[in-house]
Structure 1
Amino acid sequence: MVNKYLGRDLKKEGLQVCKRCIYDETISNISFDEYGICNYCKLVEDLSLQYGTGTDSGKSKFDTIVEEIKKSGKGKKYDVAVGVSGGTDSSYMLYLAKKYGLRPLAVHYDNTWNTAIATENIRKVTSKLEVDLYTHVCDNKESDDIFLSFFKASVPEIDGPTDIALAEVMYRAAAKYNIKYVFEGHSFIAEGVSPLSKAYVDGGYIKSVHKKFGKLKMKTFPNMTFWKFLYWTVFKRIRKIRPLWYLQYSKEDARAFLENEFDWVYYGGHHLENRMTAFHHSYYTPNKFQLDQRNNSLSASVRSGKMSREEALKEYASKPILEDSLLDYFKERMGLSDQDFIEIMNRPPKTYKDFKTYKHKFERWKPLFKILANKNLVPMSFYLKYCNKSEMA
């Protein structure tokens, strides 16, 4: 298999497409109302109403949270931990924390695949804002062994371990400094919602895949077990807040601000600040699974009026941005010959359902996680995606 993916022309494919965004009938658990609007657009509407996104109500809710954070941080060195990647949202999140008078600790998980641009962006923003940086670096051979395990397993979530590791590192940093609040830079307005069929990962899934395909012991990789997750949320009561679920936010405006204020540099596209993430989104899932996750952000841009539906469909039909040397870099780091790479890419696709995960536990513990989500002890997106059997969000 070579890079055959050239984008999806939904009009030519003759699929039913949402009249408001560009989600089509192949999306997991999608449904359309009598007006042709999909249930994911309805979900975004419901979340906007619940959080008051971009309204005075949303700002008031966030102001109240900020005051709670300040009270919790009295007598401590830091008020809040902020995850940073060098990307737009997390960089702006760090600035936002300072703007609101908070004392943030920047937290970064280095999976050893950062681009030089991302690393420099982190340095620029933390330096100018005079924010301390807490970094956990995974051993590069160990990190690569985990990525290679997911690649050999033929599952879509090759970069999923990074998400779990970052979450665990955020909790560890917060616990170390007795911080009770964590900021995450996600915006469902700017990034949309990701159906479960496109993205599932938990610590049990990582252990299961790595046990079957990995060769090295996980010593420096910060995995999160089910019970560790409960420890951080129920017993340590570390709250996860997503400010951009409350506030008015434009990724384009944020990017322009960062470039002007911090000499921050754009890395070329959504998810491209890390080379493994770029391989995941721009090559691996489109070519092997016919999953092009650009429709999340493109649909979000259409819903928010940043882009017309026709413009989004046209971009979705174009080839994803792929760094010229990225495939060679991936194969070299993974120790794969061209033949090995092609053979693995041609293996039948599998999903998280083919491995042991915590999904059924999350479903059984749904009442608890609903309470935790309402108290901001776990993200509402986690509850919607992982705890419901409908696998909707």
Structure 2
Amino acid sequence: MKTDLQVCSRCIYDERVAYIKFDENGVCNYCHQIDDLLKEYGTATPKGEEKFKEIIEEIKKNGKNKQYDCIIGVSGGTDSSYMLYLAKKWGLRPLAVHYDNTWNSSIATENIKKVLNALDIDLYTHVLDNEESNDIARSFFYADISEIEAPTDLALAETMYRAAWKYKVKYVIEGHSFMTEGITPVGRNYTDGKYIKSIHKMFGRVPMKTYPLMTFSRFLFWTAFAGIKKIRPFWYINYNKEDAKEFLMKEYNWKYYGGHHLENRLTAFRHSVYTPQKFNTDMRNNTLSALARIGKISREEAWEEYSKPPLIEKDLVKYFKKRLQLSDEEYDKVMSRPPKSWKEYPTYKKRFELLRPLFKVLAKANLVPMSFYLKYCFPMKEDNE
């Protein structure tokens, strides 16, 4: 690995990663964070497997005499598709939930249909108005911030909560794995309802009528009052993403879409074009670092892959411009402007920090994701200076 940058001795996070620190052995704080989670959840050990068995029994017991006993968000990607299969294997009765921001690739849409039909699972979908979707994406692009698809992440969470409430389901199952994906540093990966609303108010042209906005009060309602739990099975059990991918292709004629997060064209634009070119940030280091940590690939192999340019889908930039009605000049102007940070816009961040003791209790009870607590409820380094 030839570089003048300081790089973690266990993964490939380097000194450009937000809020990174290195110990005396050159190991970064994000690797230590993963170590702490491994201990707490017993991931891929008998302790973790036993914990998760108890959760499955809890879900079945709570879902007795209900149409569904859990909600699973689906995108057409590897993790969520495989999670549907596992849920049926465990004897659960899931309702698949999809938030359609109208940027899905055709491969992702077909993947969802194939797996749901094969497993006989019902689908609940919230479709965003197309003009509204374009306006929200355009607003975030004009705001010069990295999190151009942040509204999608939060809207999916809100949509899953709404479906759970409608069908009286107390458990939402998510396909995230900190082992294979890591936990994205909060530097340029922030989102909350106030952030979304404030940016749209500044730059939007179309009223948000069909967008499922999760306000602070709604977030508290879903978690502290409705008691809807977020469960991430891959935080407890052994999970091999490559094996899952092969299984899906063999059993359901599922198709791979070319890379992590590339099943959605807006997300693909962010990861392949927007953040690398405007922010000099390549978020592939999250997955590559995670794979290096667990020994799936060597640090040298991870760094070599990271050093290659990101895969850009043919005509992706052209498609982005056309959808958002951007001229070449306007697109180039925005892409060449100095980047901005989420800290320059109104957010709930200080409120999350103030209520950290509450969110710690909620995270321990699986009522909010532990990753939310770790990323959003602590002051950033600059805030202490």
TM-score (norm 2): 0.98
Structure 2 equivalent of residue 5 of structure 1: none
Question: Residue deviations 1:18-51, cap 9 Å, x none?
Answer: 0110000121111111111111111111101100
Contact 1:189-1:304 at 8 Å conserved across structures = yes
Separation (CA, whole Å) in 2 of partners of 1:30 and 1:212 = 32
Structure 1 equivalent of residue 130 of structure 2: 140
Separation (CA, whole Å) in 1 of partners of 2:16 and 2:271 = 18
Instruction: From 34, 46, 55, give the equivalent of 1:44.
Output: 34
Tell me, yes or no, if structure 1 residue 123 matches structure 2 residue 113: yes
Instruction: From 73, 77, 81, give the equivalent of 2:67.
Output: 77
Structure 1 spans left out of the alignment, 5+ residues: 1-9
Structure 2 equivalent of residue 330 of structure 1: 320
Tell me, yes or no, if structure 1 residue 11 matches structure 2 residue 12: no
Instruction: From 341, 360, 363, give the equivalent of 1:351.
Output: 341
DSSP-derived class of the 1:11 partner? coil
Question: Residue deviations 1:300-329, cap 9 Å, x none?
Answer: 110111101111010000010101110000
User: Any residues of structure 2 matched to 1:140-219 within 5 Å, and which?
Assistant: 140-219=130-209
Structure 2 equivalent of residue 319 of structure 1: 309
Separation (CA, whole Å) in 1 of partners of 2:2 and 2:369 = 35
Separation (CA, whole Å) in 1 of partners of 2:346 and 2:193 = 10
Contact 1:203-1:225 at 8 Å conserved across structures = yes
DSSP-derived class of the 1:210 partner? helix
TM-superposed CA distance for 1:198, in Å, is 2.4
Structure 2 equivalent of residue 54 of structure 1: 44
Letter in 1 for 2:318: D
User: Any residues of structure 2 matched to 1:374-393 within 5 Å, and which?
Assistant: 374-390=364-380
Separation (CA, whole Å) in 2 of partners of 1:93 and 1:272 = 18
Contact 1:83-1:90 at 8 Å conserved across structures = yes
Contact 1:111-1:138 at 8 Å conserved across structures = yes
Separation (CA, whole Å) in 2 of partners of 1:212 and 1:91 = 37
Separation (CA, whole Å) in 2 of partners of 1:71 and 1:193 = 31
Separation (CA, whole Å) in 2 of partners of 1:283 and 1:327 = 8
TM-score (norm 1): 0.96
Aligned residues: 382
Contact 1:195-1:391 at 8 Å conserved across structures = no
Structure 2 equivalent of residue 4 of structure 1: none
Deviant stretches of 4+, over 6 Å: none
Separation (CA, whole Å) in 1 of partners of 2:257 and 2:17 = 28
Tell me, yes or no, if structure 1 residue 234 matches structure 2 residue 224: yes
Separation (CA, whole Å) in 2 of partners of 1:127 and 1:324 = 30
Letter in 2 for 1:70: K
Instruction: From 63, 66, 84, give the equivalent of 1:94.
Output: 84
Letter in 2 for 1:341: Y
TM-superposed CA distance for 1:391, in Å, is 6.4
DSSP-derived class of the 2:309 partner? coil
Letter in 2 for 1:238: I
Question: Residue deviations 1:43-91, cap 9 Å, x none?
Answer: 1111011001011111100000000000110110000000000000000
Contact 1:196-1:391 at 8 Å conserved across structures = no
Letter in 2 for 1:154: D
Separation (CA, whole Å) in 2 of partners of 1:35 and 1:351 = 31
Separation (CA, whole Å) in 2 of partners of 1:87 and 1:207 = 28
Letter in 1 for 2:182: G
Separation (CA, whole Å) in 1 of partners of 2:18 and 2:324 = 31
Question: Residue deviations 1:337-389, cap 9 Å, x none?
Answer: 10010001111111111111000110111110000000000000000001011
User: Any residues of structure 2 matched to 1:255-334 within 5 Å, and which?
Assistant: 255-334=245-324
TM-superposed CA distance for 1:248, in Å, is 0.3
Letter in 1 for 2:167: Y
Letter in 2 for 1:269: G
Letter in 2 for 1:314: E
- How well do the aligned residues superpose, as a CA RMSD in angstroms? 1.0
Structure 1 equivalent of residue 355 of structure 2: 365
Structure 2 equivalent of residue 106 of structure 1: 96
Structure 2 equivalent of residue 246 of structure 1: 236
Q: Work out the percentage of aligned pairs sharing the same amino acid.
A: 62
Contact 1:203-1:224 at 8 Å conserved across structures = yes
